[in-house]
Amino acid sequence: MLLNQAGTFSTVTRDIADVERIEVLKGPASVLYGRGDPGGLINIVSRQPTLVPSGDINLQAGSFGFRRVQGSVSSAIEGVEGLAGRVSFAGQSDPTFRNFGDRDNSRTFVAPAFTWNPSPETRVSFLGEFTRLDTQYDEGLVARNGRVPLDNISRYYGEPFSRYNSNANFGLLKVEHDLNENITLREVLNAQWGGFDFLATRATGLDKTQTLVNRRETAGHSTYASVDSQTEMVAKFDLLGFRHTVLAGIEYTNGYRHSYTTQSTNFPSVSFQNPVFGSALVGLQLQGDLKQKNELNGLYVQDQIDLGLGLQFLVGVRYDSGTQYYFNRTPTSRTIPPDQQLSGTSPRVGLIYRPVEPLTLYASYTTSFKPQIANVLNVTNPPPETGEQYEIGSRLDLTPDLTLSAAAFRITRNNVAATDPNNSLYSVITGQQRSEGVEADLAGEILPGWKVIGAVSFLDARITKDTTYAIGNRLVGAPAFSGSIWSTYQFQDGVLRGWNVGAGITYVGRRTGDLNNSYTVGGYARLDAAVFYDFNEHARFSINARNLTDRRYIEQPFNQFNNLPGAPLSVLATITARL
């Protein structure tokens, strides 16, 4: 089940304390979900409860005062046959290397989960996640004269009182029942809710001398909630001499964002080179009040057909229809618009061919449809985002444990939300964006104990239609070339048995920082390493070092006044114990 897009309203990084694994789905494997983006899917697989008692705990400490505790316990629940429960939790404190003053960044997380198998044919599961985040409001460094100076990566242009408080929660209930060995029925209910509030001083520009940073004091408050239901059937059967696996379903989505209110006013400037804290809070005035709700019904069907001779054919289609209410009240705009009618059809096709045992070839075409959720000022009912992707690729099993994959693709997206060049709190709708390129991945075990994972990508990502930004401008944060490789070796015997060592390098090329392409951030190569020792199957001690060369770089640009620098040399020690 896709995380509902309402969750993007509250910027809370997903915790991984209850995550079993993370899968990257590309090509035909990702083409079912027409409500998402056409580029593929990140599938987060949660840890399931176990009937056999189990547990683990991690204690971490690192550079700049970082501290974290993370754990999970699981067991059967007596009194009900087949019932098991798990609770995962985490607490984290991270002052970071940035010069905020005395404020800390903290996170708390808890995730209860239950499974119940009343019979071999019926499976019931529940997962909840509750996350709270309290941090300093930080937009990073400011660009000047076409680049972002990196002479002092801890430089902060806000005030110590700036803060960001948010929470994100969801509960997911899934019931599956096998009618027989060929037909499975599934019902999934998902509720998500959360919100955030912040008070901050934000950079808005430079003065004529390029020595002062102009600022505004801004406050915002938002809540969101959504309910999503999927009712599906999976059927396997033979028809016309071919083996079919058919998935058909109905999805109902009711998502809304209530009262995202922003207030703002001018705030005293600060030195670009040597910002000094101390300006007092000033009065605020209403800037915008966004109210949004969408209600969609989706029908989808997919058939995976085994054509024989190594051929698999995948064809599917999804149809969405519903309404959207979208109103952004400003001091000069108070007219309430009517509901917007939405509808979209998203066909998708995939072909997989295995000419010989170690080689798989594939091709896919997929489209997408997504209601607009961005905070667009002075616009009522912006058009939904649509997209399409063409992709061809291959997978070669060099050995049973080592796989090389490659792909070439073109992704086109229409009506894409982008940062408003005049106010980074809001968005504008761009006409069309296109990303095309090639990528390759290598993953697996080369020799016993020697594992490697690597990737390389060449990407051309540009604006192809628009009235706000110049056609041909590069997309934000998209390097023409990037690559990484990470390798670990576990000693198999002798006095070093139990020791593991690893190292890797990540390279990211030069990137543009905004859709105006008014500035760029430089490329960088970051060297990381790790060493860990397994005392036995129940205990491990590890040390991870990041950015060994202490390289100064921008990890993520967003706009001219929001560029997050990468951390300097950082060391993290972890003790893990398992039952």
The secondary structure of 191-252 as a DSSP string is EEEEEEEEEEEEEEEE-TTS-EEEEEEEEEEEEEEEEEEEEEEEEEEEETTEEEEEEEEEEE
**Rounded distance between C-alpha atoms, residue 16 and residue 573, angstroms:** 18
Q: Which residue has the tokens 């060449």?
A: 458
- Pick the residue with more confidence: 341 or 116? 116
In this structure, are residues 85 and 77 in contact, taking their beta carbons and an 8 Å threshold? yes
State pLDDT tens for residues 211-246. 999 999 999 998 888 899 999 999 999 999 999 999
Total count of residues recorded for the chain = 579
Q: Residue 100 gets which letter from DSSP?
A: -
The whole-number pLDDT of residue 176 equals: 97
**Average pLDDT of every residue of the chain:** 90
Nearest CA-CA partner of 260 in 373, 146, 401 = 373
pLDDT band at 428 (very low <50, low <70, confident <90, very high): confident
In this structure, the number of other CB atoms found within 10 A of the CB of residue 5 comes to: 20
* Tokens coding 265: 């006013």
How far, CA to CA in Å, does 278 sit from each of 148, 153, 267?
25, 21, 12
Stretch 564-578: mean pLDDT? 97
The whole-number pLDDT of residue 443 equals: 95
Q: Residue 519 gets which letter from DSSP?
A: -
| Cα dihedral: 463, 469, 473, 479 (round 10) | -80
Stretch 461-480: mean pLDDT? 94
**Rounded distance between C-alpha atoms, residue 183 and residue 175, angstroms:** 14
Q: Which residue has the tokens 């754990």?
A: 71
**Rounded distance between C-alpha atoms, residue 567 and residue 97, angstroms:** 7
In this structure, the number of other CB atoms found within 10 A of the CB of residue 492 comes to: 11
State pLDDT tens for residues 152-169. 999 999 998 999 999 999
**Rounded distance between C-alpha atoms, residue 96 and residue 68, angstroms:** 13
Q: Residue 498 gets which letter from DSSP?
A: T
**Rounded distance between C-alpha atoms, residue 545 and residue 572, angstroms:** 6
**Rounded distance between C-alpha atoms, residue 579 and residue 574, angstroms:** 17
* Tokens coding 185: 């029925």
Which residues, other chains included, contact 73 with Cβ-Cβ below 8 Å and sequence gap of 6+? 54, 55, 86, 87
Instruction: Let me know if domain 5-578 sits in CATH 2.60.60.20.
Output: no
pLDDT band at 101 (very low <50, low <70, confident <90, very high): low
3-state SS, 435-479, equals EEEEEEEEEEEEECCEEEEEEEEEEEEEEEECCCCCCCCECECCC
Which residues, other chains included, contact 282 with Cβ-Cβ below 8 Å and sequence gap of 6+? 217, 265, 266, 267
Predicted model pTM: 0.90
Nearest CA-CA partner of 132 in 162, 168, 163, 103 = 168
Contacts 24+ apart (CB under 8 A), 181-186: 182/235, 182/236, 182/237, 183/233, 183/234, 183/235, 183/236, 184/233, 184/234, 184/235, 185/232, 185/233, 186/230, 186/231, 186/232, 186/233, 186/234
Stretch 370-394: mean pLDDT? 82
Stretch 418-440: mean pLDDT? 85
Enumerate the β-bridge partners of residue 325. 293
In this structure, are residues 187 and 211 in contact, taking their beta carbons and an 8 Å threshold? no
The whole-number pLDDT of residue 3 equals: 73
Angle 275-276-278 (CA atoms, 0-180°, nearest 5)? 140
pLDDT band at 20 (very low <50, low <70, confident <90, very high): very high
**Rounded distance between C-alpha atoms, residue 94 and residue 103, angstroms:** 10
Is the torsion defined by CA of 151, 154, 155, 157 positive or negative? positive
In this structure, are residues 490 and 524 in contact, taking their beta carbons and an 8 Å threshold? no
* Tokens coding 532: 């860990």
Lowest mean pLDDT, pick from 238-252, 362-376, 549-563: 362-376
pLDDT band at 7 (very low <50, low <70, confident <90, very high): low
In angstroms, the first-to-last Cα distance of the chain is: 31
Nearest CA-CA partner of 32 in 350, 295, 322, 371 = 350
Q: What are phi and psi of 27, to 5 degrees?
A: 70, -150
In this structure, are residues 112 and 89 in contact, taking their beta carbons and an 8 Å threshold? no
Nearest CA-CA partner of 213 in 551, 561, 462, 475 = 561
pLDDT band at 548 (very low <50, low <70, confident <90, very high): very high
**Rounded distance between C-alpha atoms, residue 318 and residue 301, angstroms:** 7
Is the torsion defined by CA of 30, 33, 39, 42 positive or negative? negative
In this structure, are residues 343 and 350 in contact, taking their beta carbons and an 8 Å threshold? no
- 361 has pLDDT over 70: yes
Which residues, other chains included, contact 535 with Cβ-Cβ below 8 Å and sequence gap of 6+? 498, 541
**Rounded distance between C-alpha atoms, residue 254 and residue 246, angstroms:** 26
**Rounded distance between C-alpha atoms, residue 334 and residue 312, angstroms:** 55
Q: Residue 30 gets which letter from DSSP?
A: G
- 257 has pLDDT over 80: no
Most distant pair of Cα atoms in the chain: their distance: 77
How far, CA to CA in Å, does 510 sit from each of 416, 470, 507?
23, 20, 10
